[in-house]
Amino acid sequence: MEIKAKIEKIFPAQQITSTFKKREFVVEYAENPQYPEYIKFEFIQDKCEILDNFSAGQEVTISFNLKGRKWTDPKNGEDKYFNTLQAWKINVETNAAPASGDGNTPPPPAANDEPDWLSEDSDDLPF
């Protein structure tokens, strides 16, 4: 899955166990700018350092997996469910226009250009 958003906050890495660490960050997702959503993602293990190159305010594209798990409370046997948005890639969103090409690309047609088959000189209709 992928989402485009603005980084709101980046948290320090957390060493959860001796073999597991995670780093969380929050983005402002404004599909409807009147009601922005604040969504928390996490990087895990060796991907935690990826966030060192980012800061609050940057527009980014995040690639992530939606994770879900079940946990049974040993005290009362009650099942609990948890969701996680686990990021695996993040890129700065570029709003620049694409390059004009390598010079071998023909220019786009003018607004008043018509296909040859529409010209009055042609008796060869396409249907």
pLDDT at residue 111, as a whole number: 46
Q: What is the pLDDT of residue 53?
A: 92
CATH number at residue 21: 2.40.50.140
What is the tens place of the pLDDT at every residue in 57-112?
999 999 999 999 999 999 999 999 999 999 999 999 886 444 444 545 445 544 44
In a domain, 72, yes or no: yes
122 occurs within a structural domain: no
Q: Please state the rounded mean pLDDT for residues 13-41.
A: 95
Residue 81 included in any domain: yes
What are 119's strand-pairing partners? none
Domain count, the chain: 1
Q: Is residue 104 part of a domain?
A: no
> What is the span of the domain harbouring residue 67?
2-92
Q: What global pTM score does this model have?
A: 0.69
- 3-state helix, strand and coil shares in percent for the chain, rounded to the nearest 5: 10, 45, 45
